[in-house]
A and B are shown apart, each in its own frame.
Chain A
Amino acid sequence: MSPGRTIATAGRVLLQIRHDPRTIGLLLIVPSLLIGLVAWIFEDTQVFAQIGPAMIALFPFIVMFLVTSITTLRERRTGTLERLLAMPLAKGDFIVGYALAFGLLGLVQSAIAVSFAVWVCGLDISGSIWLLFAVAVADALLGTTLGLLASAFARTEFQAVQFMPALVFPQILLGGIFAPRSSMPDVLRVIGDWLPLSHAIDALNAVANGTHDDGWVWVRIGFLGAWIVGAVIVGALTLRRRTA
């Protein structure tokens, strides 16, 4: 790998997005609008106070997963990926370059989503808002890197799209939004405990409700970080220079 090529790739991805203002708008605003919609649906109840933090985990995660996997998919379809892999670009340069570019977008997106949830939708936060932001950024990065992993694994466009329900939905179902994980059958609870989105949701809830100290939350962020790094490494390893 080379830092120069990684940075060049990240810069190129950002430059592409800059030429498409509408995508920037959708990317940055859609998660906040969805959070606002949930807050509105439960306007006169306590529900948003309970599930609001989980929404901060959910929407940026899904949006970043989709955007990243579709973008890399496009790279595959137009032949630019094949061209790059025939050049002296390391597979890690490609994956990390993408992770950096979309990570940066995820950072801005999370800042907007957290601000919107707290200051516009009136989500009560007992803990530090910075900590909430840190979890949200880790969560968006997780969406990005899992999206990269999915499209690196996929051999065809159809497969890549199928990874969205396959990788994302179980995490939502087992993450404890619909039913607390403690009430699930043992097997599902254990699986849920190992899935990264569960930890993002737990950490956001902990910060919002002040149920745990900062150290506990940072351990959760560390867990997300391990998944992020793992997804990047596995993604780079599974990218194939030679295809059938």
Chain B
Amino acid sequence: MQSVVDAIAIDVAGLTVRRGRAEVLHGLTLRAPRGQVVGLLGPSGSGKTTLMRCVVGVQKISGGTVTVLGEAAGSPRLRRRVGYVTQASSVYDDLTVRENLRYFARVLDAPASDVDRVIDETGLGAQASQLTGSLSGGQRNRVSLAAALLGAPELLVLDEPTVGLDPVLRSELWELFHRLADAGTSLFVSSHVMDEATRCDRLLLLRDGEVIADDTPQGLLQATGAADAESAFLTVIRERETGTASAGSADAGHPEDGHRHGRHAAGDVR
């Protein structure tokens, strides 16, 4: 039993979230394995950010449980073990890159040497002494990512970390994500860019607050017979909407590959 718990980074069961009068997540159930890059894909407004906020423990939830690294999401002990990058680069524009990172390192009790390490990892060496506000949007996002890498957290929750980056940088960041995963870090990365899907070890497709597929990229493509993630996503949606063979539809994203960790999230929610 312990080994099962150890293998799971994020365990969400029956998660319901209301924002204002609207229900954003409707009894969401999913699991994300440790030590992998798990991609959370879905269009804008599908609930990706809300789900990530739940995982980090900054979102008020109306029902269900979120367990992260074996503890309830948001519990004080997790605050050092989980790194979080919001969609907006949440760093201080009126501090230099290094000053930002030095402050966050002190809050995290991370060693001072971490500042140079994360500057290096995110390729910000040339900008280290510049005011963060004077940087481009993509560079600011990387400062935000660098802050999340401080203290080497076990789980990184990254909300659209590659938005607005040029292809070379984007590719470098994905390489960094995989290096981190190889070293044992779990990553939960959201994106609305479908072509990033294939870079993930595992995919969760989110639509209207429901998980409509939970699979490896290869598994998803095979199950749908689609050529790329975008059309696989479309196939899954169409199958659900036409309601053809409810069992088949629910399983569309879940071929019975022995190593899948996700639970049935598609068919039985709401």
Q: Which residues of A does B touch, CB under 8 Å?
A: 4-5, 8-9, 11-12, 15-16, 19-20, 78-80, 82-89, 241-244
State how many angstroms separate the Cβ of B99 from the closest Cβ of chain A: 6
The answer to whether A80 touches B92, judged by C-beta atoms less than 8 angstroms apart, is yes
| CB nearest to B61 among chain A residues | A242
The answer to whether A88 touches B19, judged by C-beta atoms less than 8 angstroms apart, is no
State how many angstroms separate the Cβ of B59 from the closest Cβ of chain A: 6
Residues on B with beta carbons closer than 8 Å to the beta carbon of A84: 107
The answer to whether B131 touches A78, judged by C-beta atoms less than 8 angstroms apart, is no
CB of B6 within 8 Å of the partner chain: no
CB of B198 within 8 Å of the partner chain: no
Please count how many residues in chain B sit with their CB below 8 Å of the partner chain's CB atoms.
Answer: 32
23 A-B contacts (beta carbon < 8 Å)? A4-B109, A5-B106, A8-B103, A8-B106, A9-B103, A11-B103, A12-B99, A19-B131, A78-B92, A79-B86, A79-B89, A79-B90, A80-B91, A83-B90, A83-B104, A87-B79, A87-B80, A87-B107, A87-B108, A88-B80, A242-B59, A244-B59, A244-B60
Residues on B with beta carbons closer than 8 Å to the beta carbon of A15: 95, 99
CB of B269 within 8 Å of the partner chain: no
A241 interface neighbour in B58, B95, B103, Cβ under 8 Å: B58
Residues on B with beta carbons closer than 8 Å to the beta carbon of A20: 94
CB of B183 within 8 Å of the partner chain: no
State how many angstroms separate the Cβ of B80 from the closest Cβ of chain A: 5
State how many angstroms separate the Cβ of B47 from the closest Cβ of chain A: 14
In the assembled complex, the Cα of A82 lies from the Cα of B76 at a distance in Å of 14
State how many angstroms separate the Cβ of A7 from the closest Cβ of chain B: 9
* B101-137 contact mask (Cβ, 8 Å, vs A): 1 or 0: 0011011110000000000000000000001000000
| CB nearest to A18 among chain B residues | B94
Q: A87-B108, A89-B107, A242-B74 are in contact. List 5 more A-B contacts (CB 8 A).
A: A19-B95, A78-B92, A78-B93, A86-B84, A241-B74
